[in-house]
């Protein structure tokens, strides 16, 4: 696919011969020939040219000289246009430093020096090495070139906008990691040349450490550790390699894996967009980091190793999904419970259609009333059959209300809507938007007036996906007094209801389980148009709007990563290989047209609790003018070639 701003990186753990730079460099070069040809950066472990466990051999002049010659050989033979971090000991004046040489296109652009030198437990580096923060010079003569040397260097590629910084092993494990300072100086790809041994549970801690650092610095993070070929006198080294981006693991391996490297593509655009968005994390200034610039040759296409989840709101792992669904339901319920408590309200009114959204909202009410210790009979669940209500949805609605011990009432809207048609001189045979919206507004009027009677509030049932597309009637189902589903995407609603069904089954509530599962299997529909000849739902939302699977994918990548339409299309093609490109393109056109045109509904949406990273509230996450032009986005979608 197109490169966009992907930057391909490799974390590698070559086999090491302790104290033999010639063999080690050859192993590194052999590995360079096996990584993907479009690799732009390869990160090797700490002291990989000599081996980390040389101990007092670091005092030997022959080893230090051979290490320098080994680096020189690596530079001569390394692939053109590839960047690499290589670990080796570097002597500066009368001291020895643990260094990472940044190599690009056969040159050393700088030496990043290790700052924190451990001397505890199994580590005794202070016996040989000095901290880079005490280096008396900021340049050194290496092979006839004046090269920067410091514990604060970043390397900026003007072609790709990759800004690369490195820390060495212990530099990450301290209170304020060196990479934090480098990130504040602009580094968006952080690297760690490490020699981390394995002990019980250390792999879990190390994994989380790298993941968390990539998240808090909004960066790509490439971690390469020495492997088990190091000395085993007292330790086994992990060979733990990790590539992360903004708290997400792109690739990972340890010494039990047969492969000796991992590949990942860092999305620099996403990293930089997050830094712009969450700018408080980048407000501190640093003045002791030097930036070295270079320019790589442009690469226009890329073989993408990373995958994109077709359902970014829904965890793939069933246990994680159940946990998330339970957590979301609890957050929704707590929000409603707090609102009811604060306004001294013990009654709610909710319209129940037998569809997924109103079912979830009713389940939220059930849980909120449990938290408040209110009588569930004060949940006034109103069924309002209209011209498109099916026997299936009406039956499910009635059974659900009874099983949750709420108060049930059925109010048919047919007569009232026909009276309204006569009042506004609308022919009921014309089943247009007026025909549909009149029903939605009549239902809302009923709920609002009942809320007045019961001294309660109306609970909104619309979800995040509907709000994004404006698939709601303005001042109809668009309006409520507290909207519990407003930040729950359509692709997740079904799983939350399903999770509650599974809980009911465990508790022996088989009837509740069965009705909830049947609601999950019911086609999504507003039921505003008459049924077909067989009495089944004729108006299916996804036949009009397109798949909610696609729309939720578009929504996530638009608002979470602010990606351009062309990129969202390409990612969607990869994520949904069975859906043809024409369908995806048409879906994307529909999405952008509606997303821009329907902002006026979101700008006056009711209160509702935020449960995830995407929210459309004008008081929170999305501040957007209702009259913004959509032309830039639509033009790019229309220009996409699907042949």
**Residue list, annotated binding site for deamido-NAD(+):** 437, 466, 471-474, 601
- The span from the CA of 252 to the CA of 243, in Å, is 6
Contacts of 384 (CB under 8 A, 6+ apart): 351, 353, 410, 411, 412, 413, 442, 443, 446
Contact by Cβ (8 Å): 253, 241: yes
Which of 46, 265, 366, 527 is catalytic? The answer is 46
Reduced to 3 states (helix: H, G, I; strand: E, B; else coil), residue 226 is coil
SS3 string, 149-185, reads EECCEEEEECCCCCEEEEEECHHHHCCCCHHHHHHHC
Contact by Cβ (8 Å): 443, 413: yes
**Long-range contacts made by residues 22-25, C-beta under 8 angstroms, separation at least 24?**
22/66, 22/70, 22/73, 24/48, 24/49, 24/50, 24/51, 24/70, 25/49, 25/70, 25/71, 25/73, 25/74
DSSP state of 523: P
Which of 8, 114, 181, 567 is catalytic? The answer is 114
Q: Residue 490 catalytic?
A: no
- The span from the CA of 447 to the CA of 380, in Å, is 10
Q: Residue 46 catalytic?
A: yes
Which of 48, 103, 169, 345 is catalytic? The answer is 169
- The span from the CA of 387 to the CA of 436, in Å, is 9
Annotated binding site for L-glutamine: 120, 196, 202
Annotated binding site for ATP: 351-358, 461
Q: Residue 48 catalytic?
A: no
- The span from the CA of 33 to the CA of 550, in Å, is 39
Pick from 253, 151, 270: nearest CA to 219:
270
Contact by Cβ (8 Å): 102, 108: yes
- The span from the CA of 512 to the CA of 519, in Å, is 11
Contacts of 100 (CB under 8 A, 6+ apart): 46, 85, 86, 87, 111, 112, 113, 114, 166, 168, 191, 193
Alpha helices (H) in 217-302, listed in sequence order: 268-277
The secondary structure element, H or E, covering residue 437 is helix 433-454
- The span from the CA of 554 to the CA of 565, in Å, is 9
- The span from the CA of 321 to the CA of 495, in Å, is 8
Contact by Cβ (8 Å): 243, 11: yes
Tell me the catalytic residues.
46, 114, 169
């Amino acid at each position: 696919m197109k490169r966009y701003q992907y930057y391909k990186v490799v974390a590698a753990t070559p086999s090491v011969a302790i104290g033999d730079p010639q063999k080690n460099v050859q192993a590194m070069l052999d590995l360079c020939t096996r990584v993907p040809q479009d690799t732009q950066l390869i990160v090797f472990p700490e002291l990989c040219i000599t081996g980390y466990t040389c101990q007092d051999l670091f005092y030997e002049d022959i080893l230090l000289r051979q290490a320098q010659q080994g680096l020189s050989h690596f530079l001569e033979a390394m692939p053109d246009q590839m960047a690499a971090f290589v670990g080796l000991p570097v002597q500066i004046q009368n001291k020895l430093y643990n260094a990472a040489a940044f190599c690009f296109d056969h040159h050393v652009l700088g030496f990043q020096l290790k700052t924190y030198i451990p001397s505890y437990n199994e580590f005794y580096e202070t016996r040989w090495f000095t901290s880079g923060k005490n280096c008396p010079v900021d340049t050194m003569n290496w092979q006839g070139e004046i090269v920067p040397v410091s514990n604060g260097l970043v390397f900026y590629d003007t072609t790709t906008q990759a800004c690369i910084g490195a820390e060495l092993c212990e530099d990450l494990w301290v209170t304020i990691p060196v990479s934090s300072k480098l990130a504040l100086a602009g580094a968006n790809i952080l690297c760690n040349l490490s020699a981390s041994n394995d002990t019980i549970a250390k792999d879990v801690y190390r994994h989380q450490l790298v993941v968390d650092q990539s998240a808090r610095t909004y960066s790509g993070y490439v971690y390469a550790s020495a492997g088990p070929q190091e000395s085993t006198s007292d330790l086994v080294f992990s060979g733990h390699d990790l590539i992360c981006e903004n708290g997400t693991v792109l690739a990972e391996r340890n010494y039990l894996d047969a492969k000796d490297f991992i590949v990942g593509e860092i999305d620099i655009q996403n990293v930089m967009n997050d830094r712009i968005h969450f700018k408080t994390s980048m407000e501190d200034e640093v003045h002791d980091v030097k930036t070295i610039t270079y320019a790589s040759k442009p690469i226009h296409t890329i073989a993408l190793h990373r995958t994109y989840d077709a359902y970014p709101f829904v965890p793939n792992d069933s246990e994680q999904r159940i946990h998330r669904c339970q957590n979301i339901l609890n957050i929704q319920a707590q929000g409603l419970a707090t609102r009811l408590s604060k306004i001294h309200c013990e009654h709610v009114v909710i319209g129940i259609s037998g569809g997924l959204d109103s079912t979830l909202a009713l389940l939220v009410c059930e849980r909120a009333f449990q938290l408040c210790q209110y009588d569930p009979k004060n949940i006034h669940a109103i069924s309002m059959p209209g011209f498109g209500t099916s026997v299936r949805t009406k039956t499910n609605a009635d059974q659900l209300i009874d099983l949750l011990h709420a108060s049930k009432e059925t109010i048919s809207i047919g007569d009232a809507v026909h009276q309204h048609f006569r009042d506004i001189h609308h022919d009921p045979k014309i089943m247009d938007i007026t025909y549909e919206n009149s029903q939605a507004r009549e239902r809302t009027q009923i709920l609002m007036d009942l809320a007045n009677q019961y001294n309660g509030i109306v609970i909104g049932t619309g979800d995040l996906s509907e709000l994004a597309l404006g698939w709601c009637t303005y001042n109809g189902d668009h309006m409520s007094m507290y909207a519990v589903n407003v930040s729950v995407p359509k692709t997740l609603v079904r799983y939350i209801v399903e999770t509650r069904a599974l809980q009911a089954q465990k508790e022996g509530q088989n009837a509740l389980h069965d009705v909830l599962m049947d609601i999950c299997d019911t086609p999504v529909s507003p039921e505003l148009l008459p049924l077909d000849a067989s009495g089944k739902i004729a108006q299916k939302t996804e036949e009009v709007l397109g798949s909610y699977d696609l729309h939720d994918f578009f929504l996530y990548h638009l608002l979470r990563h602010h990606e351009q339409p062309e990129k969202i299309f390409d990612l969607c093609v990869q994520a949904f290989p069975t859906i043809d490109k024409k369908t995806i393109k048409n879906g994307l056109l529909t999405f952008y047209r509606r997303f821009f045109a329907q902002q006026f509904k979101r700008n006056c949406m009711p209160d509702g609790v935020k449960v995830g990273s995407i929210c459309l509230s004008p008081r929170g996450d999305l501040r957007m003018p209702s009259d913004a032009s959509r032309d830039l986005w639509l033009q790019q979608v229309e220009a996409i070639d699907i042949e």
